[in-house]
Amino acid sequence: MRDAYQEQLDGLAEILSVMCGQVADALEKATRALLEADLQLAEEVISGDALVDETRSTAEERALALLALQAPVATDLRIVVSAIHGAGDIERMGDLALHVAQAARRRHPRPVLPPEVAPYFAEMGRIGVDLARKAGEMIRTRDLEQATAMETEDDAMDDLHRHLFTVLMDRSWPHGVGPAVDITLLGRFYERYADHAVALGRRIVFIVTGQMPGPLMV
């Protein structure tokens, strides 16, 4: 019985890890759609968001079944509760990738980004995808060191996000209000995506240590 129960807990972690892979793929495609004005990639992200939602539902159903049938305690209870919250974080990452893809579709065939800011978004996309993939591995392994490192790795995303405002506030900005609004919103989407990945790291810290790090606003 205990082996079967442990398999259920491991299966729950696997579902969340799969979700991380889904939202990493979504952001990777959405970023390419944004940079290359690729309508097909944008549509793939938009249509694929339903799969992320379905996977979240599966994770929550499994977690609630464990709560109802197994009455977990201590570490096991932390795993199940964190899985419910973590599924929400990952789904929100998928929603943010969706918003990026929708921006690319809305402006197609025109590019969304002026050339001088495109490299910033290429790097923000790379960081976001990397964080999501690391989160998937961290959920599988419950690696405390990797979990605590997530916040440090997010610093690069925050630096890029802040630097975008420097570019936009420059008096020589030649592209007008519309592109500035798009860039501001898109930068926020990437920054929040990374914040949710950091939140997943904090939940792993909670599972392993029993203590939740300080709150992160996402």
Instruction: Give whole-number Cα distances, 188 to 112, 125, 161, 174, 192, in Å.
Output: 15, 12, 7, 21, 6
What is the average pLDDT score of the chain? Answer: 94
Residue 113 lies inside a defined structural domain of this protein = yes
Residue 113 confidence (pLDDT): 95
> What average pLDDT does the segment 107-135 reach?
96
Residue 34 lies inside a defined structural domain of this protein = yes
Residue 138 confidence (pLDDT): 96
Given pLDDT bands bounded at 50, 70 and 90, which one contains residue 47?
very high
Given pLDDT bands bounded at 50, 70 and 90, which one contains residue 5?
confident
Residue 216 lies inside a defined structural domain of this protein = no
Q: What is the CATH number of the domain that holds 201?
A: 1.20.58.220
Residue 1 confidence (pLDDT): 57
Its pTM stands at: 0.94
Residue 102 lies inside a defined structural domain of this protein = yes
Long-range contacts of the stretch 169-173 (C-beta < 8 A, 24+): none
The number of folded domains in the chain is 1
Residue 54 lies inside a defined structural domain of this protein = yes
Parent domain of 160: 2-209
> What average pLDDT does the segment 41-54 reach?
97
Instruction: Give whole-number Cα distances, 91 to 98, 103, 138, 174, 180, in Å.
Output: 10, 19, 17, 36, 27
- DSSP 8-class letter at 161: H
Instruction: Give whole-number Cα distances, 86 to 26, 35, 71, 81, 205, in Å.
Output: 18, 29, 19, 9, 12
Residue 217 lies inside a defined structural domain of this protein = no
pLDDT in tens, 152-162: 989 999 999 99
> What average pLDDT does the segment 77-93 reach?
96
Q: Cα separation of 162 and 109, whole Å?
A: 28
Q: Cα separation of 189 and 200, whole Å?
A: 17
| Stronger pLDDT, 1 or 37, i.e. the higher one | 37
Residue 74 lies inside a defined structural domain of this protein = yes
Residue 218 lies inside a defined structural domain of this protein = no
> What average pLDDT does the segment 56-81 reach?
94
> What average pLDDT does the segment 12-32 reach?
98
Residue 18 confidence (pLDDT): 97
